[in-house]
Amino acid sequence: MSKHELRLVAITSVFAVACGPHAHIPIRPISVPSALAATDSASVLARRLAPVLYLQRDETFPLERVVAVVHPTRRVIAYHLLWRDDVHGAWIPFTVPTDEEVIWVGYDSTKAPSDLWTYWHGRILHTPWRQAQVAIDVQWGKHGSLPRGIVESDLPKTASLNNFYDLTFIGLPDILLGDIFREGPLCFCRSYQRYREFSRVLTLSDRIDAVARTNDPREVLHAIFGSKYSNKKQWPPTSSDHSQP
């Protein structure tokens, strides 16, 4: 490679790093005036119904923040999760430099879990949930949330686990470009069986940064997640089974 080519590569790299997205997550402790006290009944309920996450065992990005939002008129609690990053697209200028995911837990008049909705790559998956503990499998690198034990063939064909596993190889240049801007995995160089191995347990009940009771959680999310986050759908579709608090 000539000196001119080396200089061009160096200039391009510096320009890319300078323009690349960087996460600015607020440092704890964070003051949120609208957050509920730990002794508030809604706050106690949100922590009691908080899901247990089962991470894919090779996950590298940490879970940075958790906000629980109790709907004021529906029996639904939203758990907004902020992951440090997404394995894909981290090098794209002006992209959101973190990864927000959402889990919604519906509960009945006895305050027991009844329904579960999860955000899955632009779709909302729903399943009845009558177990005492809500459990979620978390996809490697992209952090899509799946009700634990879901039948994989029930997933949308264009957003199956098989397709995302294939993307870890097809999108390898994208993954490597992302490593220029932040520390991340070089690849998922393992089997599909390993990709489906959700064995690292992470409880949310003791990791919740704030609980709020509101229909519009954006003010709370801005305070805890920072000014730039994905701002994904706030609530699942309305169901008559969850119309009263």
pLDDT of residue 28: 87
Residue 10 has what pLDDT? 36
Q: Give me the pLDDT at residue 23, please.
A: 74
Each residue's pLDDT tens digit in the chain (245 positions)? 554 443 433 334 434 444 556 778 998 888 898 999 999 999 999 999 999 999 999 999 999 999 999 999 999 999 999 999 999 999 998 888 899 999 999 999 999 999 999 999 999 999 999 999 999 999 999 999 999 999 999 999 999 999 999 999 999 999 999 999 899 999 999 999 999 999 999 999 999 999 999 999 999 999 999 988 999 999 999 864 554 55
> What is the predicted pLDDT for the residue at 4?
45
**Total-model pTM:** 0.89
| Phi, psi values for residue 127, rounded to 5° | -150, 140
For 63, residues 6+ apart whose C-beta sits below 8 A from its C-beta are: 53, 81, 82, 83, 84, 202, 207
Per the CB < 8 A criterion, the answer to whether 65 and 101 are in contact is: no
d(Cα 53, Cα 145) in Å, to the nearest integer?
9
**Element holding 194 (H helix, E strand):** helix 192-195
